[in-house]
Structure 1
Amino acid sequence: MLLNVSYTDKKIAKKIDAAVGKPFTLKQRLKMGGIGSPKLEIVKASIEIRNLLILDNNRDCCNIEMRPKGIIVGFRSLLESYALVIPYYKLSIYKGDFAVYSIFKDHYFIKVRSDTKAIQKFFKKILDYKADNAPTSIDDL
């Protein structure tokens, strides 16, 4: 789901927590070596996200936050902050040609440039965590 998270709203926070879980504790974050991505340059995006990004003339950048049951892809447009909330069971990540990672959820997608080792290492961390903690049956959801 694509949400405007610019303002504090308990309903939106509950939706996000229900979809991807509450944020990791400080102890868990330290044990994992961090849960946030470096700054990611957006190369291409689905039409809904592209329509938001073209509203301003800034560079199209995003970041990813890991959660226990999914990820949150955050980006800004004008003075608003948006979040693409993706549970692990709907997350698909592909590494394409020319050092580009594609992040898919249903009809939404974002393609980001992965020109540094830190970005590649972070995506490996996401995929490893997803493999270790993904539900094994429909009852686990």
Structure 2
Amino acid sequence: MIFNTTYNNREYDTESALLVGEKFSFLKRIKLGGIGSGRLMIKTISLKLNTAKQQFSEIQYGNIELRPKGIIVHFTQKLARCSWVIPYYRLVIYNAQFFSIHANGNCIQFTKNKNYLNNKKFINKMIDLKNDALNLSYYDY
């Protein structure tokens, strides 16, 4: 589910709490070592997520926020800030030539550059939280 979060949006607050849970407590944030990624450079956005419907030559950035039952991907479209709420049971991550996040037929591809390398530890933390939330023990090494 995608929301315009440029300004306070009560619908976003209630729906995100229902889908992916409330924000982590302060102590849990410290224990996890942070719940937000650094900024990642966006390569492409699927048409359903692209609210501007036009692609300009400007560089787009996004970041990922962890929640107990899912993630929220924040990105900008022109002057608007959008948030894509994804529960863990719908989250699919591909790590090939590009790092991409897929859910409900939509996707965002991020380039693998210096920003990606800085966020590698965060991405592994996100995958571990997904496996713990869904009890996917067959991914354990």
Give 1:54 deviation, angstroms: 3.6
Q: 1:77 to 1:61 in 2, by over 3 A?
A: same
* Equivalent in the alignment of 1:37: 37
Preserved contact between residue 51 and residue 77 of structure 2 (Cα < 8 Å): no
Preserved contact between residue 22 and residue 68 of structure 1 (Cα < 8 Å): yes
Unaligned ranges ≥5, structure 1:
137-141
Q: The residue matched to 2:38 in structure 1 has which SS?
A: coil
State how far apart, in whole Å, the 1-side matches of 2:2 and 2:63 are.
14
TM-score, normalised to structure 2, is 0.86
Q: The residue matched to 1:86 in structure 2 has which SS?
A: strand
* Equivalent in the alignment of 1:82: 82
State how far apart, in whole Å, the 2-side matches of 1:7 and 1:79 are.
11
Point out 4+ residue stretches in structure 1 off by more than 4 angstroms: none
Q: Equivalent pairs: percent with the same residue? A: 34
State how far apart, in whole Å, the 1-side matches of 2:32 and 2:24 are.
10
Give 1:81 deviation, angstroms: 1.0
Unaligned ranges ≥5, structure 2:
137-141
| Matched pairs, number | 134
State how far apart, in whole Å, the 1-side matches of 2:65 and 2:26 are.
14
State how far apart, in whole Å, the 2-side matches of 1:37 and 1:54 are.
26
Preserved contact between residue 100 and residue 107 of structure 2 (Cα < 8 Å): yes
Preserved contact between residue 5 and residue 83 of structure 2 (Cα < 8 Å): yes
Preserved contact between residue 56 and residue 77 of structure 1 (Cα < 8 Å): no
Letter matched to residue 104 of structure 1: H
Q: The residue matched to 1:48 in structure 2 has which SS?
A: coil
Preserved contact between residue 21 and residue 68 of structure 1 (Cα < 8 Å): yes
TM-score, normalised to structure 1, is 0.86
Letter matched to residue 101 of structure 2: I
Give 1:57 deviation, angstroms: 5.0
Q: Which moved more, 1:40-49 or 1:63-72?
A: 40-49
Q: The residue matched to 2:49 in structure 1 has which SS?
A: helix
Letter matched to residue 11 of structure 1: E
